Amino acid sequence: ALQRYMMVTRDRQFPLSTLKSTLLTLFFIWTYSFLVSFPPILGFGTFSQNTLGVSCAVKWMGTGEDHTMSIAYVFYIYMFGFIVPFAIIFTCYLKIIKTIRIKSQQTQTAANQSSRQARDRKLTIMVAVMLLSFICCWFPYACVSIAETVGYTPKST
């Protein structure tokens, strides 16, 4: 989303089709992912076998003093793994829509007004589908994680 935003709004200042910009984008993605998943190595949060016993995952619920650290780590993951990415995606695409509308209004003539409106509608639908897809993929996981933190235990059937 950030790359598309830069491409639409600041193409001349930040050319994105270069090797340097591609490597910089990959470096940012890997660094962000590392910073979100690295704290358990330092003792902030832990990993263990999940409640169904089928994989290794974040230990959502601790006991005693560990419980406070678990809640803090879940909050950290929730913020930087769900809320911040959603806010970035939402903000970038909102600004892309605004920029495209402003640019198209500056070059608007009566003949191309209906085609501009159709393009704007398609763009808005595309952005809505992308945001809904992100929410549909990650919101259930975020909710179950929070539920496990406060004591819910899934049952296998």
104 or 84, which is more confident: 84
Element (H, E) at 47: strand 47-49
Average of pLDDT values for 91-97? 87
pLDDT value of position 42 = 84
Average of pLDDT values for 120-144? 85
Q: How far is the CA of 129 from the CAs of 45, 133, 137, in angstroms?
A: 34, 6, 12
Average of pLDDT values for 50-78? 73
The answer to whether 25 touches 129, Cβ cutoff 8 Å, is no
Average of pLDDT values for 59-67? 65
Q: State the virtual CA torsion across 82, 85, 89, 91 in degrees, nearest 10.
A: 100
57 by DSSP, 3-state: which?
Answer: strand
Phi, psi of 101 (to 5 degrees): -65, -45
User: What pTM value is reported for the model?
Assistant: 0.72
pLDDT tens digits along 19-57: 887 888 889 999 999 998 888 888 787 777 766 777 777
pLDDT value of position 83 = 92
**Measured distance CA(22)–CA(18) in Å, rounded:** 6
